[in-house]
Structure 1
Amino acid sequence: MESITGALGPLFLLILLGAAIGYYRWPSDTFWPQMERLIYFVLFPAMLIGTLATADVSQVPVGRIALVLLGTMGIFGLLLWRFRGCLGLTPAAFTSVFQGAVRFNTYVGVAGAAALHGSMGATTAAVAVALMVPVANVMCVASFVAAGTLGSGSLSQSALALAKNPLILACLAGIGLNLSGVGLPGWSQDTVGLLGGAALPLGLIAVGVALRPAALLRLDRGVIATNSIKLLLMPAVVLLLAWLVGLDSVSRDVALLFAALPTATSAYILARQLGGDAELMAGIITGQTLLAMLTLPFWLQLVG
């Protein structure tokens, strides 16, 4: 347990540091939204390209990880939609609950995998990101379309935003450079490495800045359902599937980590753009991020 908390503890401290910075609105209200854009469009894609372009992906059981992670996402996405009437939520609120169950915080996942298993953990995490980001985005946009909450946003605009997603494009670029044998020649590897090195600490601080403690006051069946799925049921199913398909310890730990991650802070932006319940989404993001500080070490200790 000490090794797990030792690996994850610094990550959580950076998130809490970000929460303190956000509370005092330092250095200004406009600084962190622009910083988030830099992280999302430049730094984190650089990290993904640098990892995937030079990694020996043949050591990662891509097919079995895809079966475990995407299979679990699909199961709970369908179950949520099948029993949405039992929750008694408005269409807008349901889309926020759906995002809370399906999306995941990429920054915490990659940082946690690297802290637990070094370069092999980071490579496996990058593969998980390449698999999960497109599927999660398609599922969430589809939930808005099916719920009829697109509002001022249109399906074509949503599809265009999905096609231009910087994380998806970075994964494709990294995989393409790897398979072509080009890799990162000359100074490009060091340059991309320097950019990528700034992504995780700044990304974790940005996660904390985005937390909204006041939104925790809202507690209903939707919040309980999405938190239970994301932090309890989904990790349990992933752990079972990982055992059934025989994942190695590193791949199992990374799959479990990604299954137990809190939802992405970018879900709040999507909720605002596509007619979701943004206030509920803020509460889900904040609650899951804080609860994950307890549940993530528990799940990893369980298999450790």
Structure 2
Amino acid sequence: MRRILLSLTILAATGAAGAWFVLRPEPLPADALAGLEADAVRGEQVFWAGGCAACHSAEKAEGADRLVLKGGRRFPSPFGTFVAPNISNDPAAGIGTWTALGLANAMLRGVSPEGRHYYPVFPYASYARATLQDVVDLRAFLATLPADPSPSAPHEVAFPYNIRLGLGLWKRLHLDDGWVVAGDLNQAETRGRYLVEALGHCGECHTPRGGLGAMDRNRWLAGAPIPGGKSRFPNLTPAKLTWSEADIVAFLTTGFTPDYDSVGGAMAEVVDGLSHLAPSDRAAIAAYLKRVVPAE
């Protein structure tokens, strides 16, 4: 009997060790950012391209208040309601003590400074394609923004989705830093791909998802239901978005469609962020969208 119990104990320990190996968080190497120098001016462009204010500022924040990243916005989903955390420069409530490597682990690997998995509602499935230089620059810019002491609210996620260790398996199945639109792209299209697929994380809203919440890359940007709502994020592929590149650029700059309708909802904040970018970046996004595979 003691031999049987010992064997079962060894098997259980081996199984637990194997499960931990598969499900464990995998941060970047400690020297991943070696040789990179931060530039806060470039980081501001990364900030606006990445849509940080659209999730982490207060609801309906305008002007300078959009730079106060106190968190608190609620995002319903089939898995529960997620609450945007405070990522202001506050050392206790926010990320004031984070290093650039800590931010890189969060954005590219979905791993917290404490070594825990983040939920993919934080769009690291897209940010995984971002360059380390952009993350270093972004960290420098975030350090210039106001600190806010508002505590982050917990996510409202029930069992089994509240078991974060299971996210290790989700990452192994779905975390992919490869480009969706491949092929021979010109310089503008390549830049647009980076802005759309990586920093802008446009697919997170505009791409349908499977049962485990991963983006369906076979229907990239084909439109998707708005969680908790009755409408849909629109189809951005050429099958539906038939505007000219000039029309797309104008929309991303002013928020007005070719029919003189105005942007609303969450997209208004996206346009506000993109309006801070260089005109060539908005043109690059338009060029890229014309290269996306049409999807009805």
TM-score (norm 1): 0.23
Greater length-normalized contact order (CA 8 Å, ≥ 6 residues apart):
1
Higher helix share: 1
Higher strand share: 2
TM-score (norm 2): 0.23
